[in-house]
Amino acid sequence: MESKHSQDKLSAYLDAELNAADRRQLEAHLSGCDECTAALAQLQALRQRVASEAQHYAAPAYLKHRIHAALQAEPRPQQRAAAPRTWSWAWINLGLAGAATAAFAVTLTLYLGQPTPNERIEQELVASHFRALMPNHLADVASTDQHTVKPWFAGKLDFSPPVYDLAPQGYALIGGRLDYLQQRPVAALAYRHRQHILNLYIWPDASGSSSTPHAAMRQGFHLLRWSQDGMQYSAVSDINPQDLSQFAGMVRQKVAQADAQ
């Protein structure tokens, strides 16, 4: 038996996959071939090292299924021209470990690429504000009178949004409309500050807690979000952050005064 041919059978020999005749023939060759004996020792050392040091991963079910299907679909030769190449369990284990690691990396990348809940609501707010700036989308009820805008929401929402005209402070009420955020209808109040449009979104806060305004910027628009008196408030505009903060402060003050009465 030539050394090249016998070395191709060493992995199968270690895994007890040779038939009796091939095993006896290989053992007879090993007894007189130092090169193949050394190769067998190296394979045994590799097997022990992998077993003791390699990290083990469970192959995903779909990967097992694909390997099994591929093996079943492989055409079987009509006659045996040469001994088929057999893969030792060590190499198969390393291949499965690499595939599992790659699958985990892809899954982790997709997971990390998903927007957070805060990012999603900010994206929705900016998209709604942008739509409102289109012609005839700013207000369903156009009025500068808070006593006209507030009753308009009655029967259209399951809550009563606070509505304030802040024209004396430089933020004139334009009107109100229904909008849809976080899979629920919300109240949207439109204000004008100089040449800028400001949208204030209001909807119930399930937690009932209060929080100070949180500032953010997305696609060139400034956002301020806070919760107060069981409601969520989100103001969106392209005005400077100082003016937006001033507006939010006045709304918060009005809400607090209404609670105190």
- Least confidently predicted of 28-32, 75-79, 127-131, 146-150: 75-79
Over range 36-59, report the average pLDDT. Answer: 72
- What is the end-to-end Cα distance of the chain in Å, rounded? 102
Instruction: List, for residues 119-129, the tens digit of each pLDDT value.
Output: 889 999 999 99
| Identity of the residue numbered 57 | Y
Residue 139 lies in a domain: yes
Rounded to whole angstroms, how far apart are CA atoms 163 and 153? 10
Residue 251 lies in a domain: yes
Structurally, how many domains does the chain consist of? 2
Residues 6+ apart with CB under 8 A from 254: 162, 164
Report the C-alpha gap between 238 and 225 in whole angstroms.
15
CA–CA gap between residue 161 and residue 158 (Å, rounded): 10
Q: 54 with 150, same domain?
A: no
- Extract the tokens encoding 148: 């006209």
Domain with 37 in it: 3-58+86-112
More confident residue, 24 or 8: 24
Structure token digits, residue 178: 């229904």
The answer to whether residue 124 sits within a structural domain is yes
Rounded to whole angstroms, the Cα distance separating 202 from 188 reads: 6
Does 77 map to a domain? no
What tokens does 60 get? Answer: 């995903």
